[in-house]
Amino acid sequence: MKAIRVEAAGGPEVLRIADVPDPVAGPTEAIVRIEAIGVNFIEVYQRSGLYPMQMPMTPGGEAAGTVISIGAETTTSRIKVGDRVAWQGAPGAYAEMAKVPADKLVKIPDEVSTDQAAAVMLQGMTAHYLATSTYQLKSDDTCLFHAAAGGVGLLFCQIASHIGARVIGTTSTDEKAALAKEAGAWKIIDYTKQDFPVEVRRLTNGAGVPVAYDSVGKTTWEKTIDSLSPLGMAVFFGNSSGPVPPIDPLMLMRKGSLFMTRPTLNHYVASRNDLLLRANAVLNAVASANLKVRIEKTFPLVEAAAAHTLLESRKTAGKILLKP
């Protein structure tokens, strides 16, 4: 089969198509013929060496397709040949087929397309845990969310607005601002023209917000903290501009006895029950049209490098997919 292989860490150019052996299912695994692959920033971190990986590797942890074979002990997951399934968190998705632990697979509702499922597993469940678990938003809450027109941001704005919370989103263009507003954001700050902590204070009558969600990292973290109210929580869940530097806990005290966390999705879907609860909440919301998935661009698998280049440009609004 065809797959993307990375021999050594580097720029997008290290993503090269190659012929590799077809996968074979182990006792508790399934082989999925992949129809759509989600492209995510974690693959940029892995490819570049920010997150060290054993090389050579096939990137990708999110995809959707059809089960073509299963191991002898997969009955407990109720997955069978012919099922349309999606997953996140199993490696090797930049390929025509993948070997996936059966307990990571989630059946796709009939009303949800394979492309939608591949586009929403990681970002949709991320938005879900951020809004409902890391900090449980309430109907009278106001929050700050960076990159509100990104893949996670557009989904988060919808989930938060359904809860009744007000989202102050940051974006960099009028086009992205319009998309975030359409998704349910309350107010938009153009971070290229406005000092966002000052604007947050103005919009909240000087109070600040009880929670701020930051996937940008290095270039925004300090001002994110300055946007919080006393006892507020800074949620750093990504590093698109680079990692957040070490933080002195005394600074958190001085700025209002603040809380800080660096969550990751895998800890919120660690058990099969947690995975099904969160994935089904997201997929059923897509099926009922309560959650709309925006797919920015689709590339053929062989153009994975171009997909990474576009993602790293931070000019996208929505999801990037690869197609085998």
SS3 labels along 227-287: CEEEEEEEEECCCCCCCCCCCCHHHHHHCCCCEEECCCHHHHCCCHHHHHHHHHHHHHHHH
* Domain with residues 138-262, CATH architecture: 3-Layer(aba) Sandwich (3.40)
Listed by start position, the domains of the chain span 2-121+269-323, 138-262
Calpha distance 114→125 (Å, rounded): 16
Mean pLDDT of the chain: 95
Tokens, residue 37: 């692959």
Query: Which pLDDT tens digit goes with each residue over 227-258?
Result: 999 999 999 998 888 889 999 999 999 999 99
Q: CB–CB of 25/69 below 8 Å?
A: yes
Alpha-helical (H) ranges within the chain are 41-48, 114-129, 151-163, 174-182, 196-203, 221-226, 249-254, 272-287, 304-312
Dihedral sign from CA coordinates of 184, 185, 190, 191:
negative
Lowest mean pLDDT: which of 48-52, 250-254, 270-274, 299-303?
Answer: 48-52
Please report the pLDDT score of residue 92 as a whole number: 96
> What value does the mean pLDDT take over residues 128-141?
97
Confidence of residue 314 (pLDDT cuts 50, 70, 90): confident
Cα 193 off chain centre by:
27
**Residue 17 in this model has a pLDDT that exceeds 90:** yes
Q: What confidence tier does 148 reach under pLDDT thresholds 50, 70, 90?
A: very high
Q: Nearest-CA neighbor of 235 among 250, 217, 249? A: 217
Q: What is the DSSP track for 13-44?
A: GG-EEEE-PPP---TTEEEEEEEEEEE-HHHH
Q: 2-121+269-323: which CATH topology? A: Quinone Oxidoreductase; Chain A, domain 1 (3.90.180)
Distances (CA, A) of 105 to 108, 191, 259: 9, 39, 34
pLDDT of 77 reads 66
CA dihedral over 203, 209, 213, 216, signed as positive or negative: positive
Residue 181 is predicted with a pLDDT of 97
Per-residue pLDDT at 318: 80
Residue 45 CB neighbour total at 10 angstroms: 17
Q: Which pTM was predicted?
A: 0.92
Percentage of residues of the chain with pLDDT beyond 90: 90
3-state helix, strand, coil in the chain (%, to 5): 35, 25, 40
- Give me the helix-helix angle, 114-129 and 151-163, nearest 10°: 60
Task: Return the structure tokens found at 18.
Answer: 């190659």
Residue 309 in 3-state DSSP?
helix
pLDDT score for 242: 84
Spatial CA neighbour of 114 closest among 172, 78, 66: 66
pLDDT 10s digits, 26-78: 999 999 999 999 999 889 989 999 889 999 999 999 999 999 999 988 766 68
From residue 164, alpha-carbon distances to 58, 172, 198, 295 in Å are: 41, 25, 24, 25
Q: Which two structure tokens, joined as six digits, stand for 99?
A: 């070997």
Indicate whether 201 pLDDT > 70.
yes
How many residues would you count in the chain? 324
How confident is the model over 215-231, as pLDDT tens digits? 999 999 999 999 999 99
